[in-house]
Structure 1
Amino acid sequence: MSTIDSELPLEPDDISDLIAMLRESTDKMHADRIDRGDLKILARTIRELRYAFKVFAGYRTKRKVTVFGSARTPTDAPAYLQAMELGKVMAERQWLVVTGAASGIMEAGHRGAGRENSMGLNIMLPFEQSSNEIIRDDPKLVNMKYFFTRKLMFVKECDAVVCLPGGFGTLDEGLEVLTLLQTGKRDMVPVILLDEPGGTYWKDFHAFVDKHLWGERMISHVDFRLYKVFDTVDETVGEIMQFYRVFHSMRFVRKQLVFRLQHALPEETLAEINRDFTDLLAKGEFVQREAFKEEADDYSLSTLPRLAFHFNRRNYGRLRVLIDLINDAKPPAIDEAKQHVPTLT
């Protein structure tokens, strides 16, 4: 068993068990005589993530868009100008722009958003990856040694993903996001593959997916709903903002999937959902309700209405279809006699 120094402050009850698990794992690694090289990887991983969590914790209340793209894109290229315009427009909507903090598309996103609205996750490489001048030395910049810790932060902390043209790294990052969405390892977010105006980089990618992945039945056709291909900033921003028009966020509570909503759904929309989306249910039906008591840890969202259901955790493309339907719903007519403040149950 691990021991706890009596002189150290005690952790809050809601995390003390997790801290104890970390200590126990550390003690077991020592007992298992783990190789020094492996321990160095683990120690560096924990250190990187601890610092990254600390930096991002101060900005959890702000929406963030992660922007991927080539570090080698010149400043006069259409894709660079496209990324700069995207950063500017998203910052005007009070979103933070998260990039890999290097040059090219990453610099363009930050240049458009400005230093105040930029966050960076820089990877330490012996070439081409020093942080750009917009984010350099900013407290919202995190430098990381490992790609896997960096990708975790890119995906974990974002509310939308936009991929512009890029090399192996961009394809790796974009495909990882789609894999996580398809398998339910990441909460649903909008993913946009953004070509330069009139460009075909992502259109050709989509054609490849259509011909080979779908054509050879390696994916379901509804998986195409997990991303959109555009070549204008207006379409991209419109898609992101529409995704959060009614839908706010999601989490699992008591084996039920819970959608937090900006407003309650009208009865006719709820009836349509219960009629057309039974394929998503493991049992029961879709129910509108107030917050579960288990959600009391996030008090800022406690008054939002919920849509709760026993999701079968199989078809996430269809889950995106459901979110799109919800976002098309108008607020229900207000009955003043029935208005009340939601309570935690």
Structure 2
Amino acid sequence: MIQESQPLPRTPFHTSLDGEGGESSAARSSTAPPDVEDYALQIKETADKLLHDQASRGDMRLLATAVRELRYCFKIFSAYRHRRKVSIFGSARTPPQHPAYKAAEEFGRRIASAGWMVITGAGSGIMEAGHRGAGRDASFGLNILLPFEQAANPVVQGDPKLVTMRYFFTRKLMFIKESDAVVLFPGGFGTHDECFEALTLIQTGKSHLFPIVMVDEPGGNYWQLWQRFIQEGLVDRGYISRHDTSLYRITDSVEEAVRQVTSFYRVYHSLRYVRGELVLRLQQPLPPALLQRIREEFRDILSGGDFELLPGALPEESNEPELAHLPRLKFRFQRQAVGRLRQLVDLINAEA
């Protein structure tokens, strides 16, 4: 497996937020979206308003610290925009001799061999295993300051791609913002926190679409127990759609986990909302027969109109010229049907 040759979006997280909230209708309808200077001016104006509002010292410190942390993270990650990345989560208490540790290490090794980079919380256990497998050069660490000391694992200790953060919310933002996939090994509260946050952000359309894979040790049942709760506690009681279970995969095979991550981008490249319509950027055009099948089998995800193939970018995508040549599938998406959207992407990857 090799890294795809097509350029990547600015970051995958950005593409799901274009045209949502914070921009006027005039800005959304313009073919020239706000530029970097416009957003910098908004930040400065907001700071001035905080002073005018007589915000407390604690509130100002929180905002200042968060902005500094995010700015530094943006700087560190910016040099690696051309590389796909996967966030690995799991218990910090898993010892090196445990089968789950060995599985995480093997996953890190295989995904790095496919050209990907690995992001973890920089601690011990599963986090260290993922870094050991991927190697220092292909590893990012997002450490967190805790009341008790959490030292970075020896693989990333001292590496410039290691960042220590004060706030969980900025750290969690970076995990999702910079990731093209999330892979979870058995863990505790923190692992489930990251798991449900990723699922919630995708389900609600506040994040880009990406593969989520739960990996057990060979023959293990950790994630099967979790799946039983999802089915009996959520799906059967109507708290989530049955299609929402398409947003993740469960396996006890490292090879299958790697395949699930990498094959997600076999034909699908990225997405972006443009004037209320969803645009899927693709690595290659769709055959006419597949387009007809999509029109027949996925009409339920449309809020109006039909599926339309485009040979290249829309004018509103002019700020991503490196992706202008990619063919597109454009349609008016019924945004509560994200599970079905994942099924559409799976069909495109399998049949195109």
Residue 141 of structure 2, aligned match among 113, 120, 135:
120
Structure 1 distance, partners of 2:321, 2:131, is: 32
Structure 2: which amino acid aligns with 1:209? I
Q: Which of the numbers 119, 137, 145 marks the counterpart of 2:166?
A: 145
Task: Find the partner of 1:50 among 58, 67, 71.
Answer: 71
Partner SS for 1:76: coil
Choose the corresponding residue for 2:348, options 326, 329, 335: 326
Q: Specify the alignment match of 1:9 in structure 2.
A: none
Query: Does the alignment pair 1:18 with 2:15?
Result: no
* Letter of the structure 1 residue corresponding to residue 163 of structure 2: V
Residue 128 of structure 1: how far off its partner (Å): 5.2
> Mapping of 1:122-201 within 5 angstroms?
122-127=143-148, 129-201=150-222
Q: Aligned residue pairs: how many?
A: 319
| CA distance in 2: counterparts of 1:255 and 1:224, whole angstroms | 26
Any conservation in 2 of the 1:124–1:130 contact (CA below 8 Å)?
Answer: no
Q: Does residue 1:28 correspond to 2:49, yes or no?
A: yes
For residues 221 and 135 of structure 2, the distance between their equivalents in structure 1, rounded to whole angstroms, comes to 29
Cα deviation, residue 184, structure 1 = 0.8
Of 151-160 and 118-127, the range deviating more from structure 2: 118-127
**Distance in 1 between residues matched to 2:39 and 2:319, nearest whole Å:** 16
1:67-99 Cα deviation digits (max 9, x unpaired): 000111101110100000000000000100110
From 299, 305, 309, give the equivalent of 2:327: 305
**1:264 deviation in Å?**
0.4
Q: Which has the larger radius of gyration?
A: 1
Given that residues 75 and 81 in structure 1 are in contact (C-alpha distance below 8 angstroms), is that contact kept between their aligned partners in structure 2? yes
My pick for the range that moved more, 152-161 or 117-126, is 117-126
Report if the CA contact (8 A) 1:255-1:310 is conserved.
Answer: yes
Residue 5 of structure 2 is matched in structure 1 by none
CA–CA separation in structure 1 for the residues paired with 2:149 and 2:342: 37
Between the aligned residues of both structures, percent identity stands at 52
How does the TM-score come out when normalised to structure 1? 0.90
Letter of the 1:279 partner, please give it. Answer: D
- Classify the secondary structure of the residue corresponding to 1:219: coil
Query: Compared with structure 1, are the counterparts of its residues 182 and 113 closer, same or farther at alpha carbon in structure 2 (3 Å cutoff)?
Result: same
Residue number in structure 2 paired with 1:217? 238
Shift of 1:294: 2.0
Give TM-score, length-normalised by structure 2: 0.89
How many Å separate the matches in 2 of 1:128 and 1:170? Answer: 19
Which of 71, 74, 92 pairs up with 2:113? 92
Match of 1:68 in 2: 89
CA RMSD of the aligned region, Å?
Answer: 1.3
Q: Which runs of 5+ in 2 are unaligned?
A: 1-33
Higher relative contact order (CA 8 A, sep 6+): 2
Alignment pair present for 1:296 and 2:315:
no
Cα distance in 1, alignment partners of residues 44 and 142 from structure 2: 28
CA distance in 1, matches of 2:208, 2:139: 23
The runs of 5 or more residues in structure 1 that have no matched partner are 1-12, 331-345
| Cα displacement string for residues 11-37 of structure 1 (whole angstroms, at most 9, x for unaligned residues) | xx7222211111111011111111111
